[in-house]
Amino acid sequence: GPKVLQIPSHQIIDMGQMVTLNCDPVSNHLYFYWYKQILGQQMEFLVNFYNGKVMEKSKLFKDQFSVERPDGSYFTLKIQPTALEDSAVYFCASSWTGDAEQFFGPGTRLTVL
Amino acid sequence: QQKVQQSPESLSVPEGGMASLNCTSSDRNFQYFWWYRQHSGEGPKALMSIFSDGDKKEGRFTAHLNKASLHVSLHIRDSQPSDSALYFCAAYDTNAYKVIFGKGTHLHVLP
């Protein structure tokens, strides 16, 4: 079936550094999402992105967070600067329409020291 | 308040048994529901969607939706050890164009 890829699978950085998480969504999908999950618990919505713009973001999407998808390439989540509480697994997802099935990537485990 | 509430938090059933998972929404903007399953170390994967009142069956899985009470359930017949996973109910907010996930139910199928 359709696959979403995420790079890297694991990232360890020092607090205050910048990190960019990369997502390669399903090729014909139009909606893109980032979620944050801590310790295999609740999947927390961060942001969704459509037609080059952020449509909706949660209160977890702090000012230090930004997303973009330049020229149809990777959909990225950048955190600058990182904080200890940013340690989590970040999942990217994509879908054809806003209410359609979301296809998730395998996640990037971010560890902030 | 959590807009999508799931129960129970954890459920253990014997192999071959029936597992029943529940989900309730507190917002009438949430009209479309999905069930996702997440195995350890993986991303969630959609099991099925349900948009209309009543039952929807796909193999061993049956979802039930009651729009009046905003209650949706998932029933897994003949549970297998491979069904052991974290199950999320997700509701689509038609006003905000986003999907809200519940906290999940940990299902353990005991061999």
pLDDT of res. A40? 78
Q: DSSP letter at A84? A: G
Contact between B49 and A101 using a beta-carbon 8 Å cutoff: yes
Rg of chain B in Å (alpha carbons): 13
Out of B43, B86, B100, the one facing A104 most closely (by C-beta) is B43
- Name the band, by pLDDT with cuts 50, 70 and 90, for residue B87: very high
CA nearest to B23, candidates B109, B100, B79, B90 = B90
* pLDDT of residue B1 exceeding 70: no
Q: Are A31 and A47 in contact (CB under 8 A)?
A: no
Which of A102, A103, A108 to mutate against chain B (most B CBs within 10 Å)? A102
Say yes or no to pLDDT of B56 above 80: yes
Q: What is the pLDDT along chain A (113 residues), one digit of tens a residue?
A: 889 999 999 999 999 999 999 999 999 899 999 999 998 788 999 999 998 899 999 999 999 999 999 877 899 999 999 999 999 999 999 999 888 899 999 999 999 99
Does the structure show a pLDDT above 80 at B97?
Answer: no
Amino acid B93: pLDDT: 81
The residue in chain A having the minimum alpha-carbon distance to the alpha carbon of residue B31 is A99
